[in-house]
Amino acid sequence: MRKILIVNSSTRIHASQSRAMTGFFQEIWKMNNPNDEFIFRDVGLQPIPHIDDNWIKAAFIKPEDRTIDNQKPLELSNLLVDEIKSADIYVIGVPMYNWSIPSSLKAYIDQIMRINETWKFRSGEPDGDYVGLLEDKKLFVLSARGDNGYASNEHNAHMNFQTTYLQTVFKIMGVADIKIFSIDNEEYGGEKLENSRKEIFAKIADIKY
């Protein structure tokens, strides 16, 4: 039995393309894998607090020096880190807001991107040589975007701080198996959007489960 963590980050509900994708993903996955377990985290409708000075001080205390008192600012973060460690597969539904990710998803990532918990420095000293601690995980990024051409070498690739950012931070945390499915052309609507939806939903349905 595998555990799938689904994270939704859209502030919209019924009109959200990314929520439609995560819902479809869950439906198809459950049909093919009835014994797998789902965990849900909705940072779009139930925002995660931003980190603060007390959080940062607590996070950089070495594991051997941690006490109950100096770790109190990390209580929610610890819960989120345990949650992501326990899951085998991550599914993130993410709209593109101003060419990047929603601030609520950034707040969530700041809470889980923890030194000596989800990543570390190989030498133990700050040297830019990162080692990810989330091993043998898979990530599916289900993104929605108003325009098109955001993939590598396409005309809007230089403005894509959405999926490129997610790939970067999750790779630093050790997740090497990352698949991206993007519904484009939302701002155009009509046939352009519908064609993009059909293409991506067909690709999701064709995932090897």
Detail the residues annotated as belonging to a binding site: 10, 16-18
Give the list of residues 6+ apart from residue 8 with CB closer than 8 angstroms, or none. Answer: 16, 18, 19, 22, 40, 41, 42, 43, 44, 45, 93
Q: In 3-state terms, what secondary structure has residue 131?
A: strand
Rounded distance between C-alpha atoms, residue 93 and residue 18, angstroms:
5
Rounded distance between C-alpha atoms, residue 28 and residue 43, angstroms:
23
Binding residue ranges for FMN: 10, 16-18
- Structure-block tokens of residue 105: 């998803």
The gap from C-alpha 186 to its chain's centroid, in whole angstroms, comes to 21
The single-letter DSSP state of residue 65 is: G
Per the DSSP assignment, residues forming a β-bridge with 100 are: 97
Rounded distance between C-alpha atoms, residue 3 and residue 15, angstroms:
28
How long is the chain? Answer: 209
